[in-house]
Amino acid sequence: MKRHWLFGLWHSLSAGGLLLGTLFFAASLTPTLLPRTVVTQGVLSGFALAAGYGIGVFGRWLCVYLELPAPRGLRAAKLVAAVGCLLVACIFLWWAAQWQNSIRKLMGLDLVESAHPLKVGLLALVTFALVIALARLFQLTIRFVSTRVSRFAPRRVSNIVGVIVSVALFWSITSGVLFRVALHFADSFYRQYDALVEPETARPTDPDKTGSSASLLDWNELGRTGRAFVAEGPTGEEIHAFTNKKALQPIRVYVGLRSADSPEKRARLALNELIRVGGFQRSVLVVVTPTGSGWIDPAAMESLEYLQNGDVASVAVQYSYLASWLSLLVEPDYGADTAQALFRDVYDYWIRLPKNSRPRLYLHGLSLGAMNSERSTDMFDVVGDPFQGALWSGPPYRSGLWRSFTRDRSPGSPAWLPRFRNGSIVRFMNQDGVAADPGFVWGPMRIVYLQYASDPVTFFDYRDLYREPDWIKPPRGPDVSPELRWYPVVTFLQLTLDMAMATTAPIGHGHVYAPGDYVEGWIEVANVQGWSLQQIAELKRHLGRLP
């Protein structure tokens, strides 16, 4: 009985599917943007194997449907294909460690001696089996529906109906039931996590601090990320101790999601609190759009606060509890609404102030915050009285302005570090500095995109499924493996995994932006003067040592 079952399983396998699946499996072991663990590599390779096998099976079905003659010697071909596939898989598993080390070396990580081919292979087979089982269930569903419909409809019509009904059923279960349950669980988890009050983060006693007894905002309603942003910034004394110059206490205003029941009300609270604490009396004012969960990268603001000797006010409004990738998936417009409401209120107040005494106005956002900060204003609405600039780091692939600037870049400049026209308004930078042609000067507005060539959040694209992206073409970015190659379907799967693991990269790579790069970014955007190269290097080291 067992032998009969194994023979039936072997007979049901597709030779073309095995061959293409193995090629996909082998390609999945090659590097993309980030190093992988044994588990992530095994799961990825299993999905790649299943994708290749599925395409091969579809090809066989298409040949049968078109009534093309079947090739002879299928049994022998299947055996040869199985042996060949096993050999190819073993060779590529043996090379996997070398490919992973080609990334790890560029990122300053310890090299690995082995990619653990046996563990990766077993995990891939388990993943493949689960995906195939799900596909077989889908096939049985089609057959069941088609059989029922064939009682009163032609065979081909019943087949089409079976496919449509099965797709609708599986999609509704996946995106309706399972997705809603998962989303509800995630939202509940992040909401409760955000509400936790950390014992080490005490309510401020300074009346000029957001969340104090004199504040318009309740400390407990700021959320976990908001309380951290308000409480953990450098003090004026700490800045003075480093710069040996007179320093002010930086102003930080944050409005949590529970502080009011609409984006407009939260934005108005933020403006009123900013006015109350004297934010418009500072030299620099930054409208910050946080990530999906409300987090603001400490290095982004601390670098500017040190460079400006504390003469900085920053304001932010939370728009979600979810992590950025979930917010990007389920509520991207909601974040844009909040960013627009905050910028509109701050800008409308700012333009009514005398030009010679109002602060210089800047925008900032990281990741999803960068995309929503982009959307916070239309450049044509502010051209008559523009804000001074923006520093947007790690913009997601869906960022509209970023996509247009990258697409229309100057000929000869790479997609991972473009040059846009004469660089008077928009410039791009990475860990090696700002890309700009010599001789070109900044205009009245300065926009800088800080991005790493190894950041999958920025360079992921759905079209990578079927076409080679520009950023892979030479010259490569400084932290992108020279062994990276584009493969249809497989590279898309690899980059999808990279995007999910983007924040696990070492600092200064992937989606983890280094304090020193923020320093260089703000020097460009805010036109910081009076710092020598030695002092800038010392500031980078100082910020790099901070928790």
Span 499-514, pLDDT tens digits: 989 999 999 999 999 9
| Digit-coded pLDDT (tens) for 306-356 | 999 999 999 999 988 766 666 665 565 668 999 999 999 999 999 999 999
Q: What is the pLDDT of residue 98?
A: 94
**Helices 533-545, 515-526: inter-axial angle, 10-degree rounding:** 140
Mean pLDDT of 86-98: 86
CB 235 within 8 A of CB 298: no
Q: What is the pLDDT of residues 429-470, one digit of tens each?
A: 999 988 887 778 999 999 999 999 999 999 999 999 999 999
List C-alpha distances in Å: 520 to 208, 312, 533: 30, 17, 11
Q: Give CA–CA dist 462/472, Å, rounded.
A: 15
Q: Is the pLDDT of residue 31 over 90?
A: yes
**Dist. CA 503–CA 59, nearest whole Å:** 38
Q: Give the CA dihedral 450, 252, 233, 427, nearest 10 degrees.
A: 10
pLDDT band per the 50, 70, 90 thresholds, residue 2: very low
Q: What is the pLDDT of residue 35?
A: 95
Consecutive H or E run containing 287: strand 284-289
- Residue 331's pLDDT is 61
Contacts of 294 (CB under 8 A, 6+ apart): 194, 223, 224, 225, 226, 256, 257, 318, 319, 320, 321
Radius of gyration of the chain (CA): 27
The predicted structure's pLDDT at residue 299 = 94
The identity of residue 241, as a single letter, is A
At residue 294, does pLDDT exceed 70?
yes
pLDDT for residue 146: 77
Q: How far apart are the first and last CA of the chain?
A: 63
Rounded CA gap, 515 and 301, in Å?
Answer: 10
* The 3-state secondary structure of 185-239, one letter per residue: HHHHHHHHHHHCCCCCCCCCCCCCCCCCCCCCCCHHHCHHHHHHHHHCCCCHHHH
CB 377 within 8 A of CB 343: yes
Q: Which residues pair with 433 in a beta bridge?
A: 430
In eight-state DSSP terms, residue 175 is I
Q: For residue range 121-167, list pLDDT tens digits in order.
A: 999 999 999 998 888 887 787 777 777 777 777 766 677 766 777 66
Q: ∠ at Cα 352 (347, 357), nearest 5°?
A: 95
Exposed e or buried b per residue across 88-110, where buried means at least 16 C-beta atoms within 10 angstroms of its C-beta: ebeebbeebbebbbbbbebbeee
Q: Which amino acid is at 456?
A: P
Confidence of residue 13 (pLDDT cuts 50, 70, 90): low
C-beta separation of 449 from 520 below 8 A = no
What is the pLDDT, as a whole number, of residue 87?
84
Q: What is the maximum alpha-carbon separation in the chain?
A: 90
**pLDDT confidence of residue 224:** 85
CA distances from 17 to 46, 82, 215 (A): 14, 10, 65
Output phi, psi for 436, to 5 deg: -155, 140
Does the pLDDT at position 43 exceed 60?
yes
543 neighbors 299 (Cβ within 8 angstroms) = yes
Mean pLDDT is lowest, of 72-81, 375-384, 407-416, 446-455, for 72-81
Q: How far apart are CA 486 and CA 472, in angstroms?
A: 8
pLDDT of residue 341: 96
**Distance (Å, rounded) from C-alpha 317 to C-alpha 256?**
6
Q: Where are the domains of the chain?
A: 13-152, 203-544
Query: Which pLDDT score is estimated for 168?
Result: 65
pLDDT tens by residue, 167-217: 666 665 555 444 455 555 555 555 555 554 454 567 888 898 999 999 999
Strands 426-430 and 433-435: antiparallel
Per DSSP bridges, beta strands 360-366 and 312-317 are unpaired
Amino acid 12: pLDDT: 56
- Going across the sheet that includes 251-255, the strands are 251-255, 312-317, 284-289, 360-366, 389-393, 446-450, 426-430, 433-435
Q: Within 13 Å of residue 368, how many CA atoms lie on the same side as its CB?
A: 28
In this structure, are strands 389-393 and 360-366 parallel, antiparallel, or unpaired? Answer: parallel
Average pLDDT for residues 364-384, to the nearest whole number? 92
Contact 366, 375 (CB under 8 A): no
pLDDT one-digit tens code per residue, 404-425: 999 999 998 999 999 999 999 9
Q: Please give the Cα distance from 363 to 447 (Å, whole number).
A: 9
The 10 Å Cβ neighbour count of residue 343 is 24
CB 486 within 8 A of CB 413: no
**β-strand partners of 355:** none
> Among 195, 299, 253, 181, which Cα is nearest to 540's?
299
Cβ neighbours for 484, distance < 8 A, ≥ 6 positions apart: 30, 31, 32, 33, 472, 476
pLDDT band at 63 (very low <50, low <70, confident <90, very high): confident
Question: Is it the case that residue 100 has pLDDT exceeding 80?
Answer: yes
Mean of the per-residue pLDDT values of the chain: 86
